[in-house]
Amino acid sequence: MNIFRVDVNASIVHREEVPQDFLYLGGRRLTAEIISREVPPRCHPLGEKNKVVIAPGLLTGSIAPSSGRLSVGTKSPLTGTIKESNVGGTAGQALALWGVKAIVIEGVPSPGKSYLLEIGPGGVELKDAGNIRGMGNYVAAGKLRDIYGPDVSLILTGPAGERKFPVSTVAVTDLSGNPSRHAGRGGVGAVLGAKGIKAIVIKQPAKKALEAKDKKGFSETCKVFAESLYKSKKTLREYGTASLVDVVNAVKGLPVNNFSRGCAVQAASINGEKLASRCKERGGATGKPCSRSCVIQCSNVYRDPGGKYVTSGLEYETLVLMGSNCGIFDLDEIAELDFLCDDLGIDTMETGAAIAVAMDAGLLPFGDAGGAKRLVEEIGKGTLLGKVLGQGALVTGKVLGVARVPVVKGQALSAYDPRVFKGTGVTYATSPMGADHTAGNCLPGRGGVNISQAEGQIKVSKDLQVISGICDMLGLCIFVGPLPENLDTFASLVSRYTGESLSGEDLCAMSLQMLKKETSFNFSAGISPVENDVPEFMREEPNQDAGFVFDVPKEELHAFWD
């Protein structure tokens, strides 16, 4: 395995041997280590001193089930914090199979310069990407597949990233070559755009999987784990993450009309059952994997009434933040919004939150799907209004004079109201990443405490953040279950893969060390623990349907990582 440093200022690539202390690091743990060592915490996120680190998880490229995740790390232009954004698709495994431990992208290019990074049997080469500059992700992906063949894996910066908008993503192609998987949070696409990287093309490796040190033992653990996941994830396979719509709506924690309400009778029109039936009626599909190692298969292919492909796929967060949170309850309209966002390379969560804030300001009424699409198109055109929306929900709220702005550390909340999901609210408040549910989502049944009671939520959130961090380190999909009962399986996978004997407690200690390193970076960047809190309005304004406010004591949030 090697680390490749890409200096876009000098237009050169350096190959480095992996340092001894990096041998067993991967994914988020490796991105956190490199960023915390090499990036000045107070540097400008879009300036020369920031870096982008792209790293497959430790198990990515192996036969471990659902281990195809890829981490993109940087200092976020949205939050000012250290950031790791996680993505599926085919690129993570392809990079690992070419022996890429990490790609570190440094410097700033000459004005107007756009690069393509080509990875294959010749190593890693930096090439001019002027022929695809400014293209949407779908057109760029099609052009590159025409040039390199249908089996390439692609990592793309969309037009929003080229414009350095903090809502921008890094897109990765799925098994069908669609740029529909996104490292979506924190504006990582803006930093890649600031580095002038339009695309990374990864040719198909001949190797099918990386071998474990204990090949037989690793294979046995993988087999048992895969069988368990396949049996236990039937609902996700049949209905995708949209199955959460009914669950969250039932407890009145579903964001509706800019987090003013917590449930809606129209939610049944965007739930998992409705989505699955719509996909099947039109020749789409559910139960699709996002990578070759995926056994959970929660993705889908959504088509329009004429059977034309629209997106793959519609996920819970998009259905809610672009849907119910904007008062939109039409799957076709949400699917079109999702396509527009994927093509531009913008986060459906941050963008949906910004549009809902604009609706709250009276810019357009809640439920105006056509108006929402026009606002997304404004971002794509780079108009003055588009530039405001492209900065995310916080700036949109400031410009439009809205007090109800659902953000933590500058990043929009995901689709769980923290007044109801109080453990998730603790995670929003305390995660080094800003309001990120994948850092430790306290869903009903996790941790053994009532989701809507303040007591016990600190411990539940911390436990889940630590175990979720393990998944991010290893490259495991979060849907395998960031739960204590899976720690022994995680430890067995790592021990048999690396040959190092590690326990679940060892992995937890490694993850906690990573989290504290990220928190330390943030403190040095000027982000104090007193910023560990949910938006003020959520402590004062009850969720209209549930009747709750967020009431976990502030002092407990401020001392969370002590």
Q: Are residues 300 and 159 in the same domain?
A: no
pLDDT at position 338: 98
Q: Are residues 56 and 186 in the same domain?
A: yes
CB atoms within 10 A of CB 236: 21
Flag whether 220 is in a domain.
no
| Distance separating alpha carbons of residues 56 and 149, to the nearest angstrom | 23
Q: State the CATH number of the domain containing residue 83.
A: 3.60.9.10
Residue 226 lies in a domain: no
- Parallel/antiparallel/unpaired status of strands 2-7 and 299-303: unpaired
Residue 161 has pLDDT above 90, yes or no: yes
Does residue 514 share a domain with residue 451?
A: yes
Label residue 437 by pLDDT band (50, 70, 90).
Answer: confident
Whether residues 33 and 163 share a domain: the answer is yes
275: enclosing H helix or E strand: helix 272-281
pLDDT of residue 447: 87
User: Quick one: pLDDT band at residue 246, thresholds 50, 70, 90?
Assistant: very high
Which pLDDT score is estimated for 249?
A: 98
Q: Is residue 207 one of the residues assigned to a domain? A: no
Nearest CA-CA partner of 510 in 543, 545, 466, 542 = 466
Which residue, 389, 435, 420, 400, is CA-closest to 535? 435
The candidate with the shortest Cα–Cα distance to 184, out of 427, 412, 473, is 412
What's the one-letter identity of residue 178? N
Residue 455 vs residues 449, 451, 483: alpha-carbon distances, Å:
8, 9, 20
Please identify, among 346, 381, 416, the residue that sits at the C-terminal boundary of a domain. 416
Regarding whether 358 and 248 lie in a shared domain, the answer is: yes
CATH number at residue 315: 1.10.569.10
Strand pairing partners for 13? 6
Work out the angle at residue 487's Cα, subtended by the Cα atoms of residues 511 and 518, and round it to the nearest 5 degrees.
10
Q: What is the pLDDT of residues 288-301, one digit of tens each?
A: 999 999 999 999 99
Say whether both 126 and 29 belong to one domain.
yes
Note whether 410 and 424 are same-domain residues.
no
Question: pLDDT tens digit string along 256-314?
Answer: 999 999 999 999 999 999 999 999 999 999 999 999 999 999 999 999 999 999 999 89
Q: pLDDT tens digit string along 179-238?
A: 999 999 999 999 999 999 999 999 999 999 999 999 999 999 999 999 999 999 999 999
Query: What does the alpha-carbon distance between residue 158 and residue 504 come to, in Å, rounded to a whole number?
Result: 39
**Are 399 and 431 found together in one domain?**
no
For range 475-490, the mean pLDDT = 95
Q: Are residues 277 and 410 in the same domain?
A: yes
Nearest to 376 by CA among 420, 346, 413, 403: 346
pLDDT above 90: residue 517: yes
Which residue among 181, 202, 223 closes a domain?
A: 202
Q: Which domain does 445 fall in, by range?
A: 418-562
In a domain, 225, yes or no: no
The two structure tokens encoding residue 242:
């949209």
Structural domains of the chain, count: 3
Claim to verify: residue 377 and residue 505 sit in the same structural domain = no
Type of residue found at 356: A
**CATH number, residue 468:** 1.10.599.10
In a domain, 102, yes or no: yes
Q: How far apart are CA 418 and CA 421, in angstroms?
A: 5
- Domain identity same for 116 and 187: yes
pLDDT in tens, 404-428: 999 999 999 999 999 999 999 999 9
**Residue 218 lies inside a defined structural domain of this protein:** no
Q: What mean pLDDT is reported for the chain?
A: 97
Q: The tokens of 291 are what?
A: 């990578």
Q: Mean per-residue pLDDT for 512-531?
A: 97
- The reply to whether 210 falls in a domain is no
pLDDT at 313: 87
Q: Which of 368, 394, 416 is at the close of a domain?
A: 416
Gap between the Cα atoms of 23 and 52, Å rounded: 20
223 falls within a domain: no
Shared-domain flag, residues 485 and 509: yes
Range 487-504 average pLDDT: 97
